[in-house]
Homo-oligomer: A and B are copies of this chain.
Amino acid sequence: MQRHFSGDKAEMAARLRKVEGQVRGIARMIEEDRYCVDVLVQIAAVRAALNQVGLSILRSHTRGCVASAIREGDGDAAVEELIDTLMQFLH
């Protein structure tokens, strides 16, 4: 079985746990009727944190799965899947 997140797994999961806490904090801000702009700034911060996690995963995916596929002569499908995934990030 191929391991997808080997080295960085614990770190990435930790970053997502932090994001989870940030989202919980934003829900609380709304319940406490905090100033909208402060809430929006927090939402933008969570988006930026998710982009960072997404890029880390893309990096290990390209280095791992995509590179393996390319070395085994089966790269085109892997690259196509990669581009399809990126398209969802540009939305």
Contact = CB atoms under 8 A, between A and B. Distances in A.
A46 B41 contact: no
B57 A4 contact: no
Given A83-B58, A90-B89, A5 B24 contact: no
Main secondary structure of the interface of A (DSSP, over half): helix
Interface string A21-40: 00110110011011111011
Contact of A88 (B16, B41, B64): B41
Nearest to A91: B91
A71 B62 CA distance: 13
Contact of A36 (B20, B65, B70, B88): B65
Contacts of A37: 61, 81-82, 85
